[in-house]
Amino acid sequence: MENFKKALAEVIGTFVLVFIGTSSAVIAGEQIGHLGIALAFGLTIVAAAYSIGTVSGAHLNPAVSFAMFINKRLSAIEFVWYVLAQIIGAFLGSFALKTIATDKGAEGLGANALNGISTGTGFLVEAILTFIFVLVIVTVTSNTKGNAKLAGLVIGLTLTMVHLVGIPLTGTSVNPARSIAPALLSGGAPVDQLWLFILAPLVGGLIAALVGKYLLDTEN
């Protein structure tokens, strides 16, 4: 029952993250620009952290859950529950956006793409940005290094920061769940490039977990 409650919280949180974040890009992107989109993703994380985060920790991202697993802050079965829940939540968010975007006459679902850069550069961008994002998360949520009252705000601002760099380059994933649903529902090039937006964040998350574990003592 406890795992189910955490998984349900992750479904809800990831639904909100993907729906608000990608909707801001698809429906309001021209009006709010890159800063507005970045803030939409970041503020959603803040809201999630102080609501469903009280149940599941508000990972909303397989790369984050993977880092927590490496740091022994999630069991193997919890990790599986979290990732499945995050993917389900992302699909629900993308389905909701698809309905609204169709009625609005908007195109796309906010799928990630390489914007005039090579595959290698795109991989590097996503791995570095995920490393920064996840390293902050494993640190500020640590019992020894963290600050529970400020963690949600710090994490949300960090996600905003990495989006400001990543949006012009890759659309910013740093989150396999956020990439899988829009890509599969869009088809075409986003599907062909999807492997990068799954693998690079996981690599970045792994490196962040190891740095946190062995340098910053975040394994608790």
Sorted by where each starts, the structural domains of the chain and their CATH numbers stand as 2-214 (1.20.1080.10)
Which regions of the chain are under pLDDT 70? none
Length of the chain: 220
74: phi then psi, degrees, rounded to nearest 5: -140, 140
Q: Of 143, 126, 129, which is closest to residue 57 (Cα–Cα)? A: 143
Q: Identify the pLDDT of residue 175.
A: 98
Q: How much is the pLDDT for 2?
A: 87
Q: Is 28 exposed, middle or buried (0-12, 13-18, 19+ CB in 10 A)?
A: middle
Lookup: tokens for 161? 């920061």
